[in-house]
Amino acid sequence: MVIGAGQAGLSSAYHLRRRGYLPGDGFVVLDHSPAPGGAWQFRWPTLTYGKVHGMHALPGKELVGADPERPSSEVIGAYFADYERSFALPVHRPVDVVAVRAGEGDRLLVQTSAGDWSARAVINATGTWDRPFWPSYPGQQTFTGRQLHTAQYPGPAPFTGQRVVVVGGGTSAVQHLLEVAEVAAATTWVTRRPPVFRTGPFSPEVGRAAVALVEERVRQGLPPRSVVSVTGLPMTEAMERARAAGVLERLPMFDRLTPDGVAWDDGRTVGADVVLWATGFRPVIDHLAPLRLREEGGGIALDGTRAVRDARVHLVGYGPSASTIGANRAGGAAVREIHQLLGQPSPAGV
């Protein structure tokens, strides 16, 4: 059973098919989204394909000829749909997975909105988009303006003429800030830690070191951090212009919200009509709770992609494999281990 049909889920399905497993009795892919495209289909319209940060092609089929000015939701949605057709990877959607628990014998019981399934192994590829993280700060209930998360970001137009506070130090926060600053009456950028901007090429060595740090946290059973939190923000030409214009002037995190803005304990205040929380996402893994996979540190300890507490469960697109290229590699690794777990002979050449 593959749960999720984003980059990680489709990569896993591709490798299952390549190993000789057939859709239906060999493996099943479930996805709760209404259409192909994973979380990409929900991205804001101004995130064009040319602005996408590090989209890597799925295994076996390159994404070629895409218009960089077209919304990434359309480009990648169409690419994923074509990928599913090309490799005959039928996806059951929309199907919500409610819980995965111990079933009869050595099987897992996957309970869904479309009925129950019995599986010998599960690849969880549910990503993070459906679990936006909203920090809790005093005064949130009294703020009379609008609060929204990256998951609800509609593009810059609705912020025209408004005072906007953007919260967060990641790539999405900076993208929102640069767009909103073009139309807003004023913008304020706040982060918990001073942002680290990276210039120059992103070498393979730097990438491997960053992934290793995230991987170590997951191995210890701690909640994973994003790879971007380790690598820093890549400084682009647009960001250079924004910094020169004063848009990237960052303030430390405020201490509370007030009815008409935000405030710090040192007496500083900023008026705001909107607080935009670009504060990231958390892994969607609550449906795995009946299996009791979590460690004391709050995360699921993995050995590669395999859950340490249950060898039948693999997490792809979690922690160090949360990038698009990482998800591709992890999909293949998970399938290799499951293939061995099930005691199946490998097809020639695999």
For residue 204, the model assigns a pLDDT of: 56
Q: Is the pLDDT assigned to residue 208 strictly greater than 80?
A: no
pLDDT at 348: 41
Least confident of 168-182, 216-230, 255-269, 293-307: 216-230
Quote the pLDDT of residue 203: 55
Residue 214: Cβ within 10 Å count: 24
pLDDT of residue 224: 72
DSSP state of 151: G
CA distances from 99 to 33, 70, 102, 232 (A): 17, 37, 10, 36
Nearest-angstrom CA–CA distance, 58 and 332: 11
User: Residue 194: is the preceding peptide bond cis (ω within 30°)?
Assistant: no
Q: Which of 41-50, 220-229, 251-260, 263-272 is least confident? A: 220-229
Residue 60 or residue 229, greater confidence: 60
Chain-centre distance of CA 65, in angstroms? 25
Amino acid at residue number 270: V
Give the pLDDT confidence score for residue 56 in this predicted structure: 83
Band (106; pLDDT cuts 50, 70, 90)? very high
Per-residue pLDDT of 167-206, as tens digits, reads 999 889 999 999 999 999 999 999 998 888 877 655 556 5
Are 131 and 282 in contact by the 8 Å Cβ rule? The answer is yes
What's residue 349's pLDDT? 41
Residue 227 confidence (pLDDT) above 70 = no
pLDDT value of position 212: 67
Number of other residues whose CB lies within 10 A of the CB of residue 228: 20
Long-range contacts of the stretch 211-216 (C-beta < 8 A, 24+): 211/320, 211/323, 211/326, 212/320, 214/319, 214/320, 214/322, 215/319, 215/320
E strands present in 36-168: 91-92, 97-102, 108-112, 115-119, 122-124, 146-149, 163-167
b/e per residue, 115-141, with b = 16+ CB within 10 A?
eebebebbbbbbbbbbebeeeebeeee
Task: Give percent of the chain with pLDDT exceeding 70.
Answer: 89
pLDDT in tens, 34-82: 999 999 999 999 999 988 866 788 999 999 889 999 999 999 999 999 9
How far apart CA 323 and CA 226 sit, in angstroms, is: 9
The per-residue pLDDT for 326 is 74
pLDDT on residue 103:
95
Distance between CA 46 and CA 290 in Å, rounded?
A: 40
DSSP assignment, residue 70?
S
Please give the Cα distance from 49 to 67 (Å, whole number): 7
Is it the case that residue 288 has pLDDT exceeding 80? yes
How does pLDDT run across 335-350, given as a tens digit for each residue? 999 999 998 655 444 4
Predicted local confidence at residue 181, as pLDDT: 96
Among 320, 309, 84, 69, CA closest to 211:
320
Query: What is the predicted pLDDT for the residue at 15?
Result: 96
Sign of CA dihedral 158, 135, 222, 215: positive
Q: CA-to-CA distance for 172 and 52, rounded, in angstroms?
A: 10
126-136 residue pLDDT tens: 999 999 999 99
